[in-house]
Amino acid sequence: MGKFVIAKRKNGEFQFTLQANNGEVILVSEGYKTKTSCKAGIKSVQTNASIDARYERKVAKNGKTMFNLRARNAKVIGTSEQYETEKARENGISSVMKNAPDAKVVDNTVAA
């Protein structure tokens, strides 16, 4: 099972990443002004991850493939890394579909 990791950016915004079992980052969020909105973004990923139509498959300017995961309102809620091939991108999408719905949330902004 994967995990969502909440972190704080240098500019003070909150951001989450979705990591696969092996720790590889498979999805990155935008910056959020509050932790509450960041957590809402995680819930949105969990809700939309299993819906193939929510994945916007793209080719970056450098020719590499990537994807955005969009919410029902079409807002981007997560962006993938860039992949060398379309097959690798599809594997990334499959990984998000598999890992996101039941992923635990780790909050790295809370002092131990």
Q: Which CATH architecture has domain 3-107?
A: Roll (2.30)
pLDDT in tens, 3-52: 999 999 999 999 999 999 889 999 999 999 999 999 999 999 999 999 99
pLDDT in tens, 34-45: 999 999 999 999
| Residue 96 near residue 49, CB atoms below 8 Å | yes
DSSP string, 17-63: EEE-TTS-EEEE---BSSHHHHHHHHHHHHHHTT-GGGEEEEE-TTS
| Residue 34 near residue 16, CB atoms below 8 Å | no
pLDDT in tens, 63-111: 999 999 999 999 999 999 999 999 999 999 999 999 999 999 999 998 6
- Does the predicted TM-score (pTM) go above 0.75? yes
88 HSE (CA, 13 A, CB side): 11
| Residue 55 near residue 65, CB atoms below 8 Å | no
Domain map of the chain by residue range?
Answer: 3-107
Q: Smallest Cα–Cα separation from 14: which of 1, 4, 23? A: 4
